[in-house]
Homo-oligomer: A and B are copies of this chain.
């Protein structure tokens, strides 16, 4: 098959897949998880039910794929934020604030509990842990962050501390949480 044809088919498949994920997320947000069926999703996406089943086995598989796309987009967002910031201290501050805001918006719902059982979540957490760990190591080398505790332990500390953002009432409270968490990362006074 000519290359253009393959590329077009591939682009079409991605578009159908993306449209399915968007439609499913919108339906679940509007009607709740229990009310959403494969027929309803096919109708909303504007594809046949048989076609939908060629892409996904069930609603659960679509939700997992949707969540994986969300998680990947969060990770890309955090990487972009790091690349925009200047020195290691500023990079860490901006990344931790962005992570806390994601946690703040991602309230612990029934859906969250379901989605977080997916295998992609463990992979993403591992990735996030390493990403923050590298920022902490750079900050320690630059002398702006503490170097008396291993970056891996500091990464666990700040990722756990910032999940408190999910139950905070406002963005201002999230920013205070970030500044308190960062205070724990500064070099101790001697």
Contact = CB atoms under 8 A, between A and B. Distances in A.
Interface of A: 146, 149, 153-154, 156-164, 167-168, 173, 176-177, 180-186, 188
A-B pairs with lowest CB-CB distance, top 6: A184-B184, A161-B161, A160-B164, A156-B164, A183-B184, A180-B184
A23 B3 CA distance: 68
A181 B156 CA distance: 11
A169 to B, nearest CB: 9
- Say what secondary structure dominates the interface of chain A: helix
A153 B177 contact: yes
A177 B159 CA distance: 12
Nearest to A148: B176
A161 B153 CA distance: 11
Given A153-B180, A156-B177, 12 more contacts: A153-B176, A153-B177, A156-B167, A156-B168, A157-B164, A158-B161, A160-B161, A161-B161, A180-B185, A181-B184, A183-B188, A184-B184
The count of identical subunits is 2
Nearest to A176: B149
A75 B7 CA distance: 62
Given A149-B176, A176-B149, A184 B156 contact: no
A168 B153 contact: yes
5 contacts: A156-B177, A157-B161, A158-B161, A160-B164, A161-B184
A54 to B, nearest CB: 35
A181 B176 CA distance: 15
A159 B167 CA distance: 12
Nearest to A149: B176
A164 B160 CA distance: 6
B157 A181 contact: yes
A153 B173 CA distance: 8
A177 B149 CA distance: 9
